[in-house]
Amino acid sequence: MTSRRFWRHNGATGWALSAPATLAVIGFLLIPIGAVIAGTFMDPRGVFAPYISYFNSGFRTTVLFRTLQIAAITTIISLIFGFMTAYVVSRAPGKLKSLLIIAAVFPLLTGVVVRAFAWLIILGRNGILNQTLLSLGIVNEPLEMLYTQGAVIIGMVYLFVPLMVLSLVGVLENIPRDVLQASSSLGASPIATFWQVLLPLAVPGLIVGAVLVFTGSFTAYATPQLLGGERQTVLATLLHQRAMVSFDWVGASTIAAIMTVITITIVLAMSHIARRINPMAT
């Protein structure tokens, strides 16, 4: 009986069972990343030398701001279209709804490389879009659409809209329909109901979706690499280039540290905000 009591009530068993996973995360993730970040502060030129030289380089600061800009625009576009689509999906009748959810899951399960490649075929110089525009006589010579910021943003929106739709459908479904009906039966116009009832109730979900999309597009590699090339270098492609082409380990580590700090800060700040303003919790 004593051994069973031990099993039931001793937290040590819990620790023992979670130990392999805990040690794996600490040993193979926390320590390696910690070492990379710590290494940037041990530069012989001075504690912040790698960061000073990063922000003194016009090219590298441009890359940082370009990456932030692409992530921000991608997030806003995904929020707008994701929200509208998710609303329609959440109000669709049962069978159609499952079909629409499947149609959003499918692209998510298709790899990022495949999805970026699809846009390479569409936006290329001899791509489908150019062929169509030429044959319709809308343009006289092929447009240069690849390797522009627009191409990267389209590729990113394509990557992240399904994620936004899926994370919002659940939230919108959980908003009681009575609340919306109460609003309109009390005389609120559809627009007022949207701004004053639906949107505030959906804010926590919108924040979660926005964090997922922002951090995902802020750190994406394959899409900017294929659709943006060197002309649209972002932090992820710069990190790869510094490490694997220039063998500049300090420079690469500095970029890794900047990416990690920005990502973690955004995740923590936004989840804090989401918890504070959740109107359903009160």
Among the listed ranges 41-49, 58-66, 137-145, 246-254, the one in contact with another protein (CB under 8 A) is 246-254
Question: Closest separation between CB of residue 74 and another protein, Å?
Answer: 14
Residue 41 is a binding residue for another protein (CB under 8 A): no
# of chain residues touching another protein (CB under 8 A): 95
Beta-carbon contacts of 157 under 8 Å, excluding residues fewer than 6 positions away, are: 74, 77, 78, 81
CA–chain centroid gap for 41, Å, is 28
Per-residue x/- track, 62-101, another protein (CB under 8 A)? -------------------x--xx-xxx-x------x-xx
| Encoded amino acid at 263, one letter | T
Contact 126, 183 (CB under 8 A): no
Q: Which of 2, 20, 186, 245 binds another protein (CB under 8 A)?
A: 20
Q: Which of 30, 52, 139, 269 binds another protein (CB under 8 A)?
A: 30
Q: Which is nearer to another protein, 58 or 187 (CB)?
A: 187
Plot region of 253 (φ>0 → left; ψ -120 to 50 → alpha; else → beta): alpha
Contact status: 266 vs another protein (CB under 8 A): no
Asked if residue 199 binds another protein (CB under 8 A), the reply is: no
Give residues 205-224 in contact with another protein (rule: CB under 8 A): 215, 218-222
CA distance 137 to 135: 5
Q: Please list, in sequence order, all residues whose beta carbon lies within 8 angstroms of the beta carbon of residue 260, skipping any fewer than 6 positions away.
A: 33, 37
Nearer to another protein, 21 or 58 (CB): 21
Distance separating alpha carbons of residues 169 and 116, to the nearest angstrom: 25
**257 CB-near residues (< 8 Å, 6+ apart):** 36, 37, 40
Footprint of another protein on residues 122-151 (CB under 8 A)? 122, 124, 126, 128, 131
CB-nearer residue toward another protein: 62 or 189: 189
